[in-house]
Amino acid sequence: MALSGGALDIDAMMSLDALLSPRAAVSITVCRSDSVAEPLLVGAVSRLQCHVSLGKSSPTAADSLRDTVDVSTAQTVPQEMIAAALARAMRPTALRASGFTGRAVQPRAALINRPGSIRAMAAQASSNPIAVFDTSMGTFEAEIFMDKMPITASNFVDLCNTGHYDGLHFHRVIDGFMLQFGCPLSSDPQSPRAGTGGPKGGSSFECDGKTITRDAGGNIPDELIDKTSNEPGTLSMANTGQPNSGGSQFFVNTVHNSFLDWFDKSTPSQHPVFGKVVSGMDVVNAIGKTKTNPRDAPVTPVKMNSLKIK
């Protein structure tokens, strides 16, 4: 993968199968025009090596990559991240947003401070929306899986765009488990009814050109189609345990809760994942450690100032 004349081209000899192989990995290098290389990211080196060349004709794209690819050289690049990098290469216009300041490429030591940046880079490579969670304890962002979970994701995006989540509070936090959010009754953090509400019954949203109408209880159809597990940082739908009982409430997993997967038959739980945190996981973990009362509600309320799609 080389940067030339402001556009990314893919070597025709690259094999997609090789890219997605469990042993595949990525090495991205930014090179100055004098060919002095500064390594920015190294995965578990195996069968593939990609380079981004910084030339005078294409500073903006390379500068954008330099700003986002900044992780420890010891971090392995998962298969989906490699696929996302390939998708990014096929969509060069997505790389031209940032301006070029003429700064020299930074030393490696200055580029390993943000461990969530690989996930953020993959999210940027995707066409999926990014949700920005501005809370009273800090901000985190999550990719919303519109490509894998169109109904659930469209429901969430509609609720964000209509301001449903703004001003609500995390009403259930369990350390070593998850953070639950999204009940409209949690606007009062002390309400004993927090956790029992949802969107307005009969309201609707658009999904792939079709109108989906929530039922009388504000619930949407179950979407049990994607087998993404309830891993740390994933966003998953809350429900009552009954079919088609999910509405606006969801939770953020802080550990791997595989027993909540709809495809895990060890329990009757069916909680489909529809997104994943791509930056600010430290904020999520901090919320997960907050002191709670006997109802598992934070003693010091944690407020969602705003939840927007960018």
Just list the catalytic residues.
172, 177, 180, 239, 251, 260, 271
CA–CA separation, 196 and 256 (whole Å): 25
The dihedral region occupied by 200, where left means phi > 0, alpha psi between -120 and 50, and beta the remainder, is beta
- Structure tokens that stand for 257 in this block: 């809760």
User: Strand 27-31 to strand 7-9: parallel, antiparallel, or no bridges (unpaired)?
Assistant: unpaired
Residue type (1 letter), 127: S
CA–CA separation, 136 and 303 (whole Å): 5
Largest CA distance in the chain: 66
- Structure tokens that stand for 304 in this block: 């969602």
